[in-house]
Structure 1
Amino acid sequence: MKSKYIYLILSPLIIIIAVFAVSALPEKEPEAPLEGKSDLAVKVEYAKLETLHNTIEVTGKLKAKDRYEIYAEVEGRLLSSAKKFREGNYYKKGQVVLQIDKQERYMTLLADKSNFMTDLTAILPDLKEDFSESYPTWNQYLKEFDIHQPLKELPTPKTEKEKYFIAGNGIYSSYYTIKSSEEKLSKYTIYAPFNGVISKSNVEAGTAVRAGEELGEMVSLSSYELEVTAPLKDIEHFKKGSKVNLYSSELETEWTGTVIRIGSTLDANSQSVKVYIQTSGKDLKEGMFLTAKVNSTSFEDAIQIPRKLIFEENQIFIVENNKLKIQKIEVLESFRSEAIVKGVSANSAVLMTNIKNPYEGMKVQVMK
C-alpha cells in the first residue's frame, strides 16, 4: 500500500522533469539548400518573324490521262502476236498490238473485187459509145485497178445521164460494199493508239474471240491525272490553270501539276468538290497516291511552332533570364501537328521542350 502511494507521487514529477529536459535541447537548424543543384535544361528557338502561308493538302489516286480499252470488233482466232500482249509490256504508237485471223475474210474481199473488176469491164464498151468524153478516165481507172490494194475513188460522172448509167449497172453499190468490207478487214489488226503499256490482258494466243469482247487495256505513261477532293471552304484556292506541288509519302520526289478541271457539283455528305490535276514526270505510276499542296492565306510577322507547346488555347512559354515566362499569342491557323501564331517578339526564346508541371518564374537552363 505504501509503495502505491510513492508511485502516484513520483509519476508526475518524472513527467515534468522529461518535459523540461526536452525543451532544454538545442533547436534543429533548417536544412540549407544543396549547393550546386542544376536547373532543368531546356531547348529554345529564337523567334524569327516572317510571312507564312497556310498550306492546303489534299490526297488522291493517280490515273493515266490517256486510257484505251481494247475490244474486238470482229470475231476470229487470235494469232501469235497475242503472246506479247501481257501487263507491263510497252508498245509504240502505231505498233501492232493484236491480230485476229482474217484469211477467210480477206479471200472473200478479193472475190468481191474480182467481180467488181468484171462489172467495170462490162460497161466500158457502152461508155466508149455513149459517153466518149468520160471513157478515157474509166479506162485508166480499170488499168490501174489492183485487187490487192484498197479501192481508189471512182471517177466523177460528167453528166446526170452518165451517173444514172453507172448506178443502173450496180457500180456504186458494189463499190461501197467493197469499201465497207475493207474497213471491216482493218479491224482484224489492232494498233497502239499512243506510246504506252498494257495495264490489263484478258486473252491468250490461239483463243477465239467474239465481236464486243474486251481484250484488255492500254495506258499512256506520258501524262497522268490526279483526282482529289477539296473541302468547300478551300475550293477558292484552286484555280483552273494554277500550279500545285505534288509529293508522295513513299518517295523523296516532288512533281508539279496543273489544275485542269474543277467539279461543278458538291458532295452533300463531305461538303467537298472534286479537283482534277494533270501532271507528268519520272517515277510516276498508275494507281499511286499523291498529295497536292496549295498555298492559301498569307500571315505576316508570324512563326510556326508545334501545337503541343500551346496551352490555355492562346499561351506559350518563353525564356527570359533563365526563367519561364507566359506569353500570350494569337493562333492564326492550326494543322495536324503545327500552328501558325503571332504575338511573339522577334528573337524571343520560345520554349521547345515539354516540361512536366511548368510555371511562370520556374528556373531553367537553356541548352547551347
Structure 2
Amino acid sequence: MSDNKETQAIRLQAQRSQNREHSVPLYLTSSFLFEDAEQARAVFADEEEGSIYSRYSNPNVDELLEKVCFLEKAEDGFAFSSGMAAVFASMAALLKSGDHVLSARAVFGSTHQLLTRVFSKWGITHSYADASAPETWESLIKPETKMILIETPSNPGLELIDLEFIGELKRKHDLIVVVDNCFATPILQTPIDYGTDLVVHSATKYMDGQGRVLGGIVVGRKDLIEEIRFFSRHTGPAMSPFNAWVISKSLETLSLRVEKHCENALKLAQTLENNEALEFVRYPFLPSFPQYELAKKQMKAGGGIVTFAVKGGYDAAKRFIDNLQMLSITSNLGDTRSIVTHPASTTHSKLTEEERQATGITPGLIRVSVGLENVADIIEDITQALAKV
C-alpha cells in the first residue's frame, strides 16, 4: 500500500469482522472474552496477542494509534483521555525524584502548572530556556537533566524551537526529547525526523477538528512507550473507544483541513498586518515573523493559529471580543469554526503577571484559531470588531 500520509490516514483500519463492514464499528465493551482458561493465561502472559480490557487496549484505540504512528513516523504509542493526560504521563512514567527537566519557557499553562506545582512535590526540578536565546540552552543542562520538553509552535505566542538544534543537544547529552506537536500536526512537521524521542498531541484539537471529543496521544520510541504503557495501564488515563473512533475517522480529513486552516490563517495574517488597531501580528509564514526562516525550514506551512496584540491592553481586547458577531469565544482551538481566545484572562490566567510577560502574553494579546469558514467572512468579522475598539 502507498506510504502517502493522506492515503494511509484513510485506509489504515482495524481488521474487519465477519460482517464485512466498510466503516470500522464501535467496540463499546469494557472487556474481551477468551476461548478457554489457557488462552486467558497466554494473553495475560503476553505469549499471545489479544485484547483484555479497554483500559489496556481496544480495537478502536489500536486503529487510531496505528494511524498516528504512521503519520509521525513513530514505533509505538498510547492514547489518553486528554492532551494533558498525555503530557503528564510522558513525564511521570519516565522521571524520578532527583531528575531535572529542561523546558522551553513558552509552554501551555497546564504544562507550566505540572512543572511548578505537581512534579516539584516529587523532587523533580526544571529550568526554563528561552527560544530567543538558543545559545543559553546548553548551560542550563545539569548532570541530573534527563529530559527536554518543548512546544513548537508554542501556545499562544507561536515561538518556534529549532528541532535540529534540539536533536544535537539530545545526542550530545543523552537526553529524552519530548515535543508537543499539537499546533503543527504531523501534516506540517514530523519532529522524529530530527531525533525527537516522543511526540505528544492534544487530539482534542486538530486531530478531532470539530470540537466534539477529548483525547491525547503520545507516540515515539518503542522502549519509552513501553514504560508509558505500563504506567498508564495501572493509573488509568486511557482514551475511550468512542473518542478513539471519532478521532480516527477525523484523521481521514486531517490533511485537507490543515491545508485550508493554513490558507485561511495566512490570508487573515496578511490582511491584519497593517491594521492600525494592532501593535503586531504574528504568524510563522509571514516574512515579518521573527523566526520566519526557521518556520520555512521545518514546517510545510504556517499552521492555523494567528496571534495579535490589540492596542490599549485588556480593556481594548475585551471590547474587540465583545464586538465579534461570528467567531466563537472559547478556549479550544483547531476547530472547523474560528475561535478567539484572550490567553491572559483564560488559558494562561493562573500564571503570574511576570510569568506571562516572560512568554510574551501581554494584556492585549489575542489568539485566533482560524477555522474553515469562507476567509472573507472571518476577515470581515475581525476587522469590524477591531474598528469598534
TM-score range, shorter chain: under 0.3
Structure exhibiting the larger radius of gyration computed from Cα positions: 1
TM-score (norm 2): 0.24
TM-score (norm 1): 0.25
- The structure in which a higher percent of residues are strand is 1
Q: Which has the higher contact order (CA 8 A, sep 6+)?
A: 1
- The structure in which a higher percent of residues are helix is 2
